[in-house]
């Protein structure tokens, strides 16, 4: 299990729980959240996240267009909405302007 600020992700069962409830995530949303949790607070670029969403985690040579990067922004916006996360005071997902995304510091 991967845990962060009350959020739990189980890669084996592909389930995400927040509090007592299970979140209904798309495959892409789940994979993106999984990658961000595994990065442990490290920044993942939009291009890296595109490869995650495509299932190309280990290929660095694939082309990533601006449209692909915008699609990641949409997926992460939907994920934020489902998490109830506020981009101005994020609990889980932080935008690193001009670069990508990372996890917010753990809640104390």
- Identify the CATH class of 2-103: mainly alpha
- Give the DSSP letter of residue 36: H
Q: What pLDDT digit, counting tens, does each position of 44-91 carry? A: 999 999 999 988 765 667 788 889 899 999 999 999 999 999 888 899
d(CA 103, CA 39): 8
What is the edge-to-edge ordering of all strands in the sheet holding 93-96? 44-45, 100-103, 93-96
Query: CB count, 10 Å around CB of 77?
Result: 13
d(CA 107, CA 30): 21
Q: How confident is the model at residue 102 (pLDDT cuts 50, 70, 90)?
A: very high
d(CA 34, CA 69): 18
d(CA 3, CA 17): 10
In the chain, the N- to C-terminal Cα span, in Å, equals 20
């Amino acid at each position: 299990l991967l845990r962060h600020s009350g959020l739990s992700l189980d890669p084996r069962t592909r389930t995400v729980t927040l509090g007592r409830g299970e979140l209904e995530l798309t495959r892409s949303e789940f994979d993106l959240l999984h990658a961000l949790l595994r990065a442990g607070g490290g920044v993942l670029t939009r291009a890296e996240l595109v490869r995650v969403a495509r299932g190309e985690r280990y290929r660095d040579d694939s082309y990533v267009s601006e449209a692909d990067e915008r699609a990641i922004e949409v997926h992460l916006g939907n994920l934020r909405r489902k998490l109830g996360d506020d981009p101005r005071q994020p609990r889980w997902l932080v935008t690193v302007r001009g670069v990508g995304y990372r996890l917010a510091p753990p809640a104390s």
